[in-house]
Amino acid sequence: MRDVAIVGIGLSRWGEVWDASLRTLWTEAALAALDDAGLDRVDSITVGSMTPGLFVGQEHLGPLLADELGMAGVPATRVESACASGGVALKTGFAEVAAGLADIVLVTGVEKMTDVSGDECTAALAAAADAELEVFYGATFPGLYAMMARAHMARWGTTREQLAMVAVKNHRHGALNPHAQYRQEITVKDVIESAMVAEPLTILDCSPITDGAAAVVLAELGVARTIAKGRPIVRIAGVGQATDRIALQSRADLTTLPATTLAAQRAFKMAGKTPNDIHLAEVHDCFTIAEILVVEALGFCKPGQGGCQASSGRTALGGEIPVNPSGGLKSKGHPVGATGVAQAVEITTQLRGVAGKRQVAGARVGLTQNMGGTGASTVVHILEVAS
Amino acid sequence: MSPLNPARVAREFPTRYRLEAARCDGCGAVSFPPRVVCPACRGRKFATVSLEPEGKVLTWTVIHVGPSSHKHEVPYALAVVELAGGVRITCQIADVDPARVEAGMPVRLEFRRIQEDGEAGVIAYGHKAVPA
């Protein structure tokens, strides 16, 4: 298997971008990444997108977007794994380069979410749950995560304030990120007193609805060295992916994310590393409880101790293991199919040492964790500065 | 992709009307709804059994922002209920103040209206849990 490096990164505008379509956002991100890499050709394109069919009535994104970039003829593949679509698109691009099918791959993710009403958006996102067993009976994503939160609180004594502290921390980080959708700092009181969505989760426990796209250019390591422009080369050292039973009700334990644990174990093994080797992580905080469950599943703390990681400052910037220095899904925004790729953009920015006010000092090894549904799919990547 | 397409609703009748489940001939695990492959042992032979409707609340939430199909019901309690035989299902808890629902609460499944497609369309039935 060949070594693979990230040689270019790019983001489109993120937020409620009324004046840009899916294809415009995607093209912004793709061009930014290609320009960053200093390349104008690629051997292959992957596109992570959860459900453009429900959001904008458009499928067949591979050729659509290759065409948009003036690259008709290049193989282009849409990859879907709900909110983990972007991460799985990254894994797919990695595999193409590692296997020698391509030397340079443009990996992208995109979601255009604000062309539909709030109701239609809820319904589109709910398509990642079990339609017959959960959604039919009135389940929503906040509702399913709320039930996991209640179970974690009952089992481990996790508190309402600890949930809120995840949002407070990530907004504090996002306030330092010029690219974040919501850059204002918030307090525990703000979170708890904001509009109730699914008890105990309020609107400020939830990631927002976002339009946006993200892109990275992957190259075989030898090729990467020839175009590095003196910057640190960021290598993908480990990749892991796993699945779980899709309906929450089918899982033996409602307080853990076994697919995240499995994916992480696979990525750590491939990279020859342990959780102690990780300097920072971008994880899937679609809801505050999700970050708590994820830091436990990744092995950053013991089971049951996820609740105190944000409140103690351990996962804040300046802490032992900063989690979501970008602001995470919560503050930076969550255009679902773009998120997994945007996580790699942030880690690469950090490993290049150019993250500005949110820079994690001395960062040389970072991790991304991107998941779909209530954790039924997860993909983990470990990135490091190549020696 | 309407969830209330008539054929789609009709093929769920055995599970939603009669709580029919499948017990694996190989390992005895009960799957609800019935499946082709047993998730516990990958067995492919099953006997049809009916679930006992009594159970208890494992975890729950009260949904304040609901999907359009259930918007008229908010706030409503939604729970994962563990039935007497160990099978778990997701359903609403009805006939009780949502604020009084709690983990461990004994409940019983009842046959209730779940969704409807306007005044002239399909009415889909299924189960809700009520205090036992």
- Look at A131 and B3 and tell me if their CB atoms are within 8 Å: yes
In sequence order, what are the beta bridge partners of A159? none
- pLDDT score of B109 more than 90: yes
Q: How many domains does chain B have?
A: 1
Predicted local confidence at residue A384, as pLDDT: 98
Catalytic positions of A are 83, 334
pLDDT surpasses 90 at B80: yes
CATH class of A4-117+210-226: alpha beta
Mutation to test the A interface, candidates B32, B61, B91, B113, most A Cβ within 10 Å: B61
Burial of A108 (0-12, 13-18, 19+ CB in 10 A): buried
Contact flag B59-A126 (C-beta cutoff 8 Å): no
Tell me the sheet residues that pair with A216: A9, A107
Q: Which two tokens stand for residue A360?
A: 């994690």
For A335-359, how does the pLDDT look when each residue is reduced to its tens digit (9 = 90+)? 999 999 999 999 999 999 999 999 9
Residue B28 has a pLDDT of 97
Q: Which of A39-43, A48-52, A117-121, A254-258 has the weakest average pLDDT?
A: A117-121
pLDDT, average across residues A354-365? 98
Residue in B43, B13, B11 with CA at minimum distance from that of residue B26: B43
Confirm if A336 and A125 have CB atoms less than 8 A apart.
Answer: yes
Question: Is pLDDT at A99 greater than 70 in this prediction?
Answer: yes
CATH number of the domain at B25, please: 2.40.50.840
Residue A24: pLDDT over 70: yes
Residue B120 binned pLDDT confidence (cut-offs 50, 70, 90): confident
pLDDT band of B30, cuts 50, 70, 90:
very high
pLDDT in tens, A138-182: 999 999 999 999 999 999 999 999 999 999 999 999 999 999 999
pLDDT tens string A35-44: 999 999 999 9
Instruction: Give the residue-averaged pLDDT of A196-200.
Output: 98
Beta carbons of B3 and A134 less than 8 Å apart? no
| Interface membership of A248 toward B (CB under 8 Å) | yes
* CB hemisphere CA count around A106 (13 angstroms): 35
* Token digits of residue A119: 């109701």
Contact state of B76 with A138 under an 8 Å Cβ cutoff: yes
Q: Please name the residues in contact with A277: beta carbons below 8 A apart, sequence gap of 6 or more.
A: A365
Residue B3 pLDDT grade (very low, low, confident, very high; cuts 50, 70, 90): confident
The pLDDT of B26-54, averaged and rounded, is 97
Any domain includes B1? no
Average pLDDT, chain A: 97
Residue B61 has its nearest CB partner, among A131, A198, A247, at A198
Decide whether A4-117+210-226 matches A138-208+237-385 in CATH topology: yes
Average pLDDT over every residue of A1-18: 98
What pLDDT is attached to residue B29? Answer: 96
The model's confidence at residue B1, banded by pLDDT at 50, 70 and 90, is low
Q: How confident is the model at residue A251 (pLDDT cuts 50, 70, 90)?
A: very high
* Burial call B70-83: b when 16+ CB within 10 Å, e when fewer: beeeebbbbbbbbb
pLDDT mean over A123-147? 96
Q: How confident is the model at residue B118 (pLDDT cuts 50, 70, 90)?
A: confident
pLDDT tens per residue across span A296-324: 999 999 999 999 999 999 999 999 999 99
- Give the range of the structural domain holding residue B72, as residue numbers without chain letter: 6-131
Residues of B in contact with A199 (CB under 8 A): 61-62, 64
Read off the pLDDT of each residue in A252-277 and give the average, rounded to a whole number: 98
Token pair in block for residue A84? 């983990």
Q: Is the predicted pLDDT of residue B2 greater than 80, yes or no?
A: no
Domain ranges of chain A: 4-117+210-226, 138-208+237-385
ipTM over 0.90: yes
Q: How far is C-alpha A326 from the chain's CA centre?
A: 11
The fold of the A138-208+237-385 domain, in CATH, is Peroxisomal Thiolase; Chain A, domain 1 (3.40.47)
Residue A21: pLDDT over 70: yes
| Segment holding B113, helix H or strand E | strand B106-116
Q: How far is B114 from chain A (nearest CA, A)?
A: 7
